[in-house]
């Protein structure tokens, strides 16, 4: 029996869903090893172990701080683990014990955040790049969510791909009751959910939508996600293109509202320039939404034939693809059917089983 530490400090974030589902299924399939789960104060009371071999441990060290390099390193050593699984790149880079790291993607190393001070962000980005390189070299094994990221990490860090393992993620069906959004009821709309980071390419999506309005005057574009200063840029973009009355920024939506948006949209549009897995598109398929997607990075690998693709740098191509799905009922119906089959290929339990096998390999 081994002692395994799982770093779950980013439990309630987008990437945190991966960690939550991993721990949920590990508790079902592994009763032999002892697991110590590192949690922040805000998550400590909310997450409860389901199995007797899982124990939660309070951790106060924040990501990308000096405390992460000193206090967290000290805390992990005191726990005397046989293996540590960092579910993100952020970690004590000079910790010498056995480590498995999940590297979700290299997007942050490649895109700027326009809401941040340029000089400060540039410096932080250089640190982040070094951390990625260092972690890729020091980890016993690396887990990535797609083959695209596997190849990307191997090339970026100049390491052998033999130490990198792909464990595909999955999409959950939303079990909450459908909760309609009244102001959108009875109206045709395109849908996108997620943070408005630069690589999400929402500016070009709004440009494409402005072109679509010429042939679809009643169409709306619904952008869901917690509002911040980045969203303000896209409010201005919609205003400058004369479509501000037709672009709906919902802010945060409940699970029931998200389910209604997926099921009610004319198409789920995913214009991203860079993804590690592309979970929202798969989640849209799970709820019978036809998906129109960027053909960038890992997305064709994950969505297969279940999405209608476009070049995310070409607004006209994006417009053409969305319009095809809006007007061609045969293609639209086929996408919905293909989407139902595509999501069946992915399983959180399988991901957990593959991860456990990686632990066992690392512990030898």
Query: Which tops the pLDDT comparison, 217 or 128?
Result: 217
Q: Which two tokens stand for residue 364?
A: 């030898």
Q: Which two tokens stand for residue 249?
A: 């920024």
First to last CA, the chain: 12
Longest CA pairwise span in the chain (Å): 65
pLDDT given at position 110? 86
Q: Per residue in 12-57, pLDDT tens?
A: 777 789 999 999 999 999 999 999 999 999 999 999 999 999 999 9
Looking up tokens 């789920």, which residue turns up?
268
Distance of CA 364 to the CA centre of its chain: 31
Mean of all residue pLDDT scores within the chain: 95
Query: Which tops the pLDDT comparison, 326 or 118?
Result: 326
At 228 the three-state DSSP class reads coil
At 144 the three-state DSSP class reads strand
CB 300 within 8 Å of CB 275: no
Q: Per residue in 114-158, pLDDT tens?
A: 767 888 888 888 988 999 999 999 999 999 999 999 999 999 999
pLDDT given at position 24? 97
pLDDT at 112 over 90: no
pTM for the full model? Answer: 0.94
CA 199 to CA 123: how far, in whole Å?
19
pLDDT given at position 125? 86
Q: Per residue in 172-182, pLDDT tens?
A: 999 999 999 99
pLDDT given at position 111? 85
- Angle among Cα 80, 81, 85 to the nearest 5 degrees reads 145
Q: How confident is the model at residue 341 (pLDDT cuts 50, 70, 90)?
A: very high
Q: How confident is the model at residue 199 (pLDDT cuts 50, 70, 90)?
A: very high
- Angle among Cα 112, 203, 316 to the nearest 5 degrees reads 125
Question: Which segments of 146-298 are extended strands (E)?
Answer: 164-166, 189-193, 220-224, 247-251, 267-270, 291-294
Mean local confidence (pLDDT), 220-229: 90
Q: Per residue in 244-280, pLDDT tens?
A: 999 999 999 999 999 999 999 999 999 999 999 999 9
Q: Which two tokens stand for residue 344?
A: 């069946």
pLDDT given at position 118? 84
Q: How confident is the model at residue 187 (pLDDT cuts 50, 70, 90)?
A: very high
**DSSP state letter for 257:** H
pLDDT given at position 83? 98
Mean local confidence (pLDDT), 222-233: 87
Return the exposure string of 108-146: e unless at least 16 CB atoms fall within 10 Å of the residue's CB, then b.
bbeeeeeeeeeeeeeeebeebeebbbebbeebbbbbbbb
pLDDT given at position 89? 96
Looking up tokens 């004590």, which residue turns up?
92
pLDDT given at position 15? 75
Mean local confidence (pLDDT), 297-323: 98
**DSSP state letter for 49:** -
Query: Which tops the pLDDT comparison, 242 or 122?
Result: 242
Q: Within 13 Å and on the Cβ side, how many CA atoms surround 5?
A: 24
Instruction: Give 301-356 as a DSSP string.
Output: HHHGGGEEEE-TT-HHHHHHHHHHHHH-HHHHHHHHHHHHHHHTT--HHHHHHHHH
CB 268 within 8 Å of CB 327: no
CB 319 within 8 Å of CB 104: no
Give the range among 110-124, 141-155, 218-232, 297-311 with minimum mean pLDDT. Answer: 110-124
Q: How confident is the model at residue 230 (pLDDT cuts 50, 70, 90)?
A: confident
Q: Per residue in 51-89, pLDDT tens?
A: 999 999 999 999 889 999 999 999 999 999 999 999 999
- Angle among Cα 354, 169, 335 to the nearest 5 degrees reads 135
């Amino acid at each position: 029996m081994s002692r395994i530490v799982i770093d779950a400090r980013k439990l309630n974030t987008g990437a945190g869903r991966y960690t939550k589902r991993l721990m949920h299924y590990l508790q079902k399939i592994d009763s032999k090893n002892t697991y110590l789960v590192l949690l922040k104060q805000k998550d400590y009371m909310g997450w409860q172990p389901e199995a007797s071999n899982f124990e939660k441990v309070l951790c106060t060290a924040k990501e990308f701080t000096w405390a992460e390099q000193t206090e967290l390193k000290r805390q992990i050593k005191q726990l005397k683990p046989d293996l540590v699984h960092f579910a993100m790149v952020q970690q004590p880079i000079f910790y010498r014990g056995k480590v498995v790291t999940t590297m979700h993607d290299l997007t942050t190393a490649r895109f700027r955040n326009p809401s941040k001070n340029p000089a400060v962000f540039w410096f932080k980005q250089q640190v982040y790049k070094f951390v990625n390189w260092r972690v890729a070299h020091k980890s016993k094994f690396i887990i990535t969510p797609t083959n695209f990221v596997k190849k990307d990490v191997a090339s970026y860090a100049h390491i052998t791909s033999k130490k990198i393992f792909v464990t595909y993620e999955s999409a959950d069906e939303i079990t909450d009751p459908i909760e309609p959004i009244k102001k959108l009821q009875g109206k045709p709309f395109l849908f996108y959910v997620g943070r408005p980071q630069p690589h999400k390419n929402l500016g070009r999506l709004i440009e494409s939508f402005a072109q679509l309005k010429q042939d679809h005057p009643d169409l709306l574009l619904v952008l869901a996600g917690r509002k911040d200063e980045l969203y303000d840029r896209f409010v201005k973009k919609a205003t400058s293109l004369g479509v501000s009355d037709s672009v709906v920024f919902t802010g945060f939506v409940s699970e029931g509202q998200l389910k209604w948006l997926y099921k009610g949209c004319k198409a789920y549009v995913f214009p991203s320039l860079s993804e590690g897995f592309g979970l929202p598109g798969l989640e849209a398929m799970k709820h019978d939404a036809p998906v129109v997607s960027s053909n960038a990075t890992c997305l064709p690998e994950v969505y297969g034939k279940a999405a209608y693709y476009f070049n995310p740098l070409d607004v006209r191509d994006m417009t053409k693809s969305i319009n095809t799905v809006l007007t061609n009922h045969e293609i639209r119906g086929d996408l919905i059917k293909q989407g139902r089959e595509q999501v069946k290929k992915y399983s959180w339990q399988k991901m957990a089983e593959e991860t456990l096998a990686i632990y066992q390999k690392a512990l030898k």
